[in-house]
Amino acid sequence: MAQHRLGIIMNGVTGRMGMNQHLIRSILAIRAQGGVALKNGDRVMPDPILVGRNKAKLAQLAKAHGLTRWTSDLNAALKNHEDTLFFDAATTKLRAKLLRKAIAAGKDIYCEKPIAETLTDAVDVARAAKAAGVKHGVVQDKLFLPGLLKLKMLIESGFFGRIPARRMAAASSSTCSATGATCSTISSAR
């Protein structure tokens, strides 16, 4: 049974969501469990390099969690051929640009939602990833929480009857220009 290293460039992990949800509760938890087991018995072990703007925060975060790889030089991180996956949890305003940069460097991409500020940019990123032949994905973890799945089942079964309106805390709605559908975006208040 072999262990396979998965080098992950983790951009934006000094922020609350990137650090807690993605680094600590996901990647570090997987490492603590000995990696991800494959059907053949092999294991995939994530090996993150932390990337961000603040060197002091990166160094402190890496030290606190026993990691040795961190940098404030995203371009250098993207040039490392041994790190094949780019993860972004930094600001949404820069995400599409950063994802395109990672795609151009041949990295598979995985990011926090939303992919971009506009539907046009999001579709452009998805098309660029497909054209480059890189794997790409977006975090959708909250959609599959047991409570939300139960709520969905109850709504679909008609348990609540007709629901004339909905409200989500800390959410904003807009009309999707491509489909005319109402889209809700949940954002955290600071």
- Tens of pLDDT, residue by residue over 1-52, are 899 999 999 998 888 778 888 888 889 999 999 999 999 999 999 999 999 9
DSSP H or E segment with residue 62:
helix 55-64
Amino acid at 7: G
List pLDDT tens digits, range 116-153: 999 999 999 999 999 999 999 888 766 666 777 788 88
Residue 71 has pLDDT above 90, yes or no: yes
Residues 6+ apart with CB under 8 A from 113: 138, 139, 140
Which token pair is 119? Answer: 């539907």
Most confidently modeled range among 76-85, 87-96, 157-166, 167-176: 76-85
Sole residue written with tokens 């994905």: 137
Percentage of residues of the chain with pLDDT beyond 90: 59
32-36, 101-105, 124-128, 177-181: segment of lowest average pLDDT: 177-181
Residue 190 has pLDDT above 60, yes or no: no
Residue 113 pLDDT: 84
Contacts of 33-42 with C-beta under 8 Å, sequence gap 24+, read: 35/3, 40/1, 41/1, 42/1, 42/2, 42/3, 42/4
d(CA 185, CA 76): 33
Residue 172 has pLDDT above 70, yes or no: no
Taking the CA of residue 73 as centre, how many other CA atoms within 13 Å lie in the half-sphere pointing to its CB?
6
Residue 87 has pLDDT above 70, yes or no: yes
Q: What is the pTM of this model?
A: 0.75
Residue 108 has pLDDT above 60, yes or no: yes
d(CA 61, CA 83): 20
